[in-house]
Amino acid sequence: MTVTAQQLREQFAAKLPEGGAPLSPEWRDAFATVAREAFVPRFFLHKPGGGMRAVDSGDEDWLSSVYSDLTLVTQLNGDDTAWDTARGNGGVTGSPTSSSSQPTLMAWMLEALDLQPWHHVLEVGTGTGYNAALLAQRLGSDHVTTIDVDPRVVEVARTRLARAGSTPTVAEADAARGYSGRAPYDRILATCSWPRIPHAWLEQARPGGLILSHLYTELDAGAMPLLRVNSDGTATGHFLGEYGAFMPRRDYQRPDTLALLQRALRSDDEPTRSLARMPSGEVTSLDFPLFAALRVPGVALHWFQPEDAPAMRTYLLCRDGSCANQELDDGQLVAVQSGPRRLWDEIDAVYAEWAALGKPTRDRFGLTVTAEAHTLWLDRPTGEHTWTLPP
Ligand SMILES: C[S@@+](CC[C@H](N)C(=O)[O-])C[C@H]1O[C@@H](n2cnc3c(N)ncnc32)[C@H](O)[C@@H]1O
């Protein structure tokens, strides 16, 4: 029996979000109605051995991939010719610069927005246009504005949205300045990641409105603050309990962790060895990385197995050349550290702090954003435990 796209769409909507409470009926209907395939006629999928292959609408696994819980990458390195190259060569490598986000993550974020029919929404990062189409399905096109920094992405999404019968405002803009043309907004939803929440968003959101974004950190914290905008122009709220991952804003250069590691391993700098307290698994657990990433900024992770090592090692790396990892020496955890900073000691210190706080889960932390600073807090914005983040 052939399964139709509509049947696949309904099954997909019924299963979202994966591993969580079912969607509210309004969002389930929207996911069951909007055809994701209209926004992703071609995309990249990861190849088992590394790199990415190009998938086209005629391919056998196209529709099943569209209605799976996969992020569908649609652009690599900002280069619109990469898909044709991958199609011709069997694959390419590169960093994703546009995509249709993972549906489970989209569903969590859309639910968290607590949308009401009269709300006006600004979406940051149009990408394929699929999320904007879902928002327009719920609220009506007049209530939705979506912006993207890439003019070609904007043009393609606008055309596909119109073909699908959806006509939100689609504009080319750098979201660092927001989009004042349609402000004020009741909700601002960012589907790319920002190291700090741009002040323009606070100015363009209505008091009482919500801002939901991913906060970019080099250490992968998956941090998504949901901020309520106050009448004094500040915003505050807890982080979602869920882990999210998004590509950083277009002009952000991620550190090349492989190059940093190679440089550190080749360096003549003799590493120091000292006892470590935090087991390395904690830096990739669900809860500690949020606290660690915000308290010890600028530290990235890389996994690598040196020839003489029995297993993969977790390396902490910084752009200034600092490098740290953990080894088991005579049954003891030893931190091996080199470069200007002692990265393992820094993480160990905040691990001890987090442990002393009772190892709070990520959703007990929150963020307050003002014109001057971002402040991390535990449980209450004005409670006992607050930490001002570096600019
Ligand atoms: C993950 S994709 C968005 C997915 C999209 N919401 C969808 O449903 O397909 C992230 C998008 O953010 C855009 N972006 C990156 N930096 C930006 C910026 N400074 N301002 C606006 N958009 C930006 C990228 O061009 C990319 O298309």
List residues with catalytic annotation.
Answer: 101
Q: What pLDDT, on a 0 to 100 scale, did the predictor assign at position 1? A: 65
Residue 20 predicted with pLDDT over 90: no
Instruction: Name which residue sits closest to atom 12 of ligand 1, judged by CA.
Output: 125
Residue 7 makes CB contacts below 8 A (sequence gap 6+) with: none
Residues paired with residue 300 on neighbouring β-strands, in sequence order: 317
For residue 99 and ligand 1, the question of a CB distance below 6 A is answered with yes
Residue 13 predicted with pLDDT over 90: yes
The share of the chain scoring above pLDDT 90, in percent, equals 88
Ligand 1 centroid to Cα of residue 125, in Å, is 3
Rounded distance between C-alpha atoms, residue 235 and residue 160, angstroms: 34
Chain CA centroid to CA 129, Å? 17
pLDDT in tens, 262-312: 999 999 889 999 999 888 788 888 899 999 999 999 999 998 888 887 788
Q: What pLDDT, on a 0 to 100 scale, did the predictor assign at position 328? A: 85
Spatial contact of 225 and 202, defined as CB atoms under 8 Å apart: no
Instruction: Name which residue sits closest to atom 19 of ligand 1, judged by CA.
Output: 174
For residue 66 and ligand 1, the question of a CB distance below 6 A is answered with no
Instruction: Measure the CA dihedral 179/182/186/187, to 10°.
Output: -40
Name the DSSP letter for residue 142.
Answer: G
What pTM does this model have? 0.96
For the chain, the maximum distance between any two Cα atoms, rounded to a whole number of angstroms, is 66
For residue 102 and ligand 1, the question of a CB distance below 6 A is answered with no
Best residue among 79, 148, 158, 172 to mutate for probing ligand 1, ranked by most atoms within 8 Å of CB: 148
**Strand duo 185-194 + 121-124: pairing:** parallel
Best residue among 71, 135, 192 to mutate for probing ligand 1, ranked by most atoms within 8 Å of CB: 192
pLDDT in tens, 88-116: 999 999 999 999 999 999 999 999 999 99
Ligand 1 centroid to Cα of residue 98, in Å, is 6
Which numeric CATH code is attached to 257-356?
3.30.160
Ligand 1 centroid to Cα of residue 19, in Å, is 26
Ligand 1 centroid to Cα of residue 41, in Å, is 18
pLDDT in tens, 143-201: 999 999 999 999 999 999 999 999 999 999 999 999 999 999 999 999 999 999 999 99
Q: What is the mean pLDDT of the chain?
A: 95
For residue 175 and ligand 1, the question of a CB distance below 6 A is answered with yes
